[in-house]
Structure 1
Amino acid sequence: MDVAGVLREYWDLKPVRVDVLTGGMNSAVWLACADEWRVVLKAVGAGDLGFEPGLQLAARLDDAGIRTGRPRAGKHGRYVECVDGRLVAVLEYIDGVPLTMVDHAAIGDLLGRVHSAAAVERGDLADWLRFLLPFEECLDLEPWIRPAVEGAIADAVALGPLSWSWLHGDPAAEAFVRQPDGQVALIDWGSAMRGPILYDVASARMYNDEPVVPAYLRRRPDLTDEVERGLNTFLRVRYAVQAGYFAWRITNNLLTGISDPEDNHKGLADARRSFGH
């Protein structure tokens, strides 16, 4: 992609330097800069229906005081442009140092702030789980996958009504960035969606270990009973998503975001171990 050309044509920005950044599993990312500004250009597939809602959420949360690497509207007032068959957005660059798994307090606290600022009415959990797991045709790649996924879904539905919010969707430690002024930003909103808060909490627990949960509950003590009742169930849901996702990647030989095809198999094996197989 001609990143400098895209920035000039759609955002009226004229970079003096463009560098490739490490992208996610489903995106390509560049850092562009001039004397007075730095931005990130991010490109995803044209079928990524969650891309623009995630950008809109990042903008709303930034307005609420949570730094997110908010999107910049282009010359035509849009956050997203379609370029060469891909969806493209420009984000404010967040300078700082990514957190690590030991930064439990900062991770849990900021995730709790996000859920407080972005609460929504609850939806239908069974429908949401079907949306979350669109890999039906890949669940028979290995014999353990389908029973594990279906069991996790059934246990989640049995929990009954849950609290919902807009979710980050992928709160690994490296998505949290401590800035030079000490504030922590939460970036990478490509997996954002409406859903049960327990999914984000379980994801944070999976990525960042157990102490992130009490850190979260110090910010959201009102959710203590719900988290204690449903966290283990949603950990299985989170690993079910991982199992379905990597089964899909293996089935379709998708290699974006990884250095070796074995990384897909490792992701599936990690999910398998979580189910005791």
Structure 2
Amino acid sequence: MDRLVAHRPQQRHGRPVVTGRRGTSPSDLLETFWGMSGAAVTSLGGGMNSETWLVEHEGSTYVAKAVSRAAAADLATGGEVATTLARSGFVTGHPVPTRDGRMILTDPPLALLRHVPGRELDGEADEEQEWIASTLAGVHAASDPAPGPSPAAFATDWLDPRMPGVTAHPWLVAAIEAVRAETDALTVTWATLHTDPAPEAFLHDDRSGVTGLVDWAGARRGPVLYDVASAVMYLGGREHASRFLRTYLASGPLRAEEMRHLDAFSRFREAVQGVYFAGRLASDDRTGGVDRADNEKGLTDARRRLAALGVAT
């Protein structure tokens, strides 16, 4: 199976800066803005677009997450989505407001998130695919699914041939044009999307049987098929994701007729993947513990999968 590195395609910025200067370290910020004096703070390392710490304070556990200033608005929007879904009963790792009621701290950008117990899934077992599908379908069903505007209005900041590095790859420019031509005229269901539902974003608590979904910094409203296509991509394609697809169709808001457009949105998703890695290569972005070869592989893999889905590359 083709395993992928999870990422937020819209965040193409450098590693977040939370320095060790007095007053700006995670411990100092937690004390100043959340009143957590004496909290135990342990680094969890950096992801593709963020840095995180485990926070323990007075018997409770949290996760602090820092992003770049350019990504602060996405972090705040994701926090609002996670909070709304948590009120509906979903486990989302939603943010704890600062003492003055802000969803996140903006200077520097930092969120304090509820810790979600459980183990990261990998989607290899049928049972795990069922948990992933049921959780994602529940989120979509709970967020007012309805026919939306043209998909042309979606991801205009992600899928644009003018994005950095794209014109260096003529095949990618052509792919963007092809997937836009294929999807822009479709009438499909829109709902609140996670946008990056990789298996590791799903945490399953074996004791309670509850599966949480975390990492909401890319959340926005859009075509539900984009989330479904993203999940299928991360699971290794339609054949390997068969249990996920059956479970999602049985419990989600999409009818079988609309699911016929899944391949079109899989091509759309792979084009987004290509733009993301083209941008990382153009800026030599190595955040997330990857090197240039990893970014080159990400772009090559997106091209290969687009070709497998019928796009001339």
CA RMSD of aligned residues (A): 1.6
- Give the share of equivalent positions with the same residue, in percent: 35
User: Aligned residues, how many?
Assistant: 273
For the residues of structure 2 that align with 1:15 and 1:246, how far apart are their CA atoms?
A: 40
For the residues of structure 1 that align with 2:170 and 2:254, how far apart are their CA atoms?
A: 40
2:299 matches 1:268: yes
Aligned match of 1:142 in 169, 191, 194?
A: 169
Structure 1 residue 256, shift from structure 2 partner: 1.0
For residues 222 and 273 of structure 1, do their structure 2 counterparts lie closer, same or farther at Cα, with a shift above 3 Å needed? closer
Aligned match of 2:197 in 171, 177, 180?
A: 171
Which residue of structure 1 lines up, in the alignment, with residue 286 of structure 2?
255
What is the DSSP-based 3-state SS (H/G/I as helix, E as strand, rest coil) of the residue aligned with 1:275? helix
For residues 37 and 135 of structure 1, do their structure 2 counterparts lie closer, same or farther at Cα, with a shift above 3 Å needed? farther
Equivalent positions of 1:186-265 (< 5 A) are 186-208=213-235, 209-211=240-242, 212-220=244-252, 222-227=254-259, 229-265=260-296
Which residue of structure 1 lines up, in the alignment, with residue 3 of structure 2?
none
Letter in 1 for 2:246: P
Report the TM-score, using the length of structure 2 for normalisation.
Answer: 0.83
Equivalent positions of 1:14-53 (< 5 A) are 14-48=37-71, 49-53=73-77
- Please give the per-residue CA displacement for 1:15-67, whole angstroms capped at 9, x wherever unaligned: 44211114331111111112411111111111123221111000011110110
For the residues of structure 2 that align with 1:221 and 1:168, how far apart are their CA atoms?
A: 15
Which residue of structure 1 lines up, in the alignment, with residue 8 of structure 2?
none
Answer whether contact 1:166 1:193 (CA < 8 A) is retained.
yes
- Please give the per-residue CA displacement for 1:85-133, whole angstroms capped at 9, x wherever unaligned: x311110011211112121111111100000111255234212142332
What is the DSSP-based 3-state SS (H/G/I as helix, E as strand, rest coil) of the residue aligned with 1:21? strand
For the residues of structure 2 that align with 1:38 and 1:223, how far apart are their CA atoms?
A: 40
For the residues of structure 2 that align with 1:204 and 1:127, how far apart are their CA atoms?
A: 21
Structure 1 residue 144, shift from structure 2 partner: 1.1
Report the TM-score, using the length of structure 1 for normalisation.
Answer: 0.93
Which residue of structure 2 lines up, in the alignment, with residue 95 of structure 1?
117
Which residue of structure 2 lines up, in the alignment, with residue 3 of structure 1?
26
**Structure 2 gap segments, 5+ residues each:** 1-17, 19-24, 308-312
2:131 matches 1:131: no
What is the DSSP-based 3-state SS (H/G/I as helix, E as strand, rest coil) of the residue aligned with 1:47? helix
For the residues of structure 1 that align with 2:162 and 2:257, how far apart are their CA atoms?
A: 33
Aligned match of 2:97 in 73, 77, 81?
A: 73
For the residues of structure 1 that align with 2:145 and 2:77, how far apart are their CA atoms?
A: 14
Structure 1 residue 234, shift from structure 2 partner: 0.3
Answer whether contact 1:148 1:240 (CA < 8 A) is retained.
yes
For the residues of structure 1 that align with 2:161 and 2:75, how far apart are their CA atoms?
A: 19
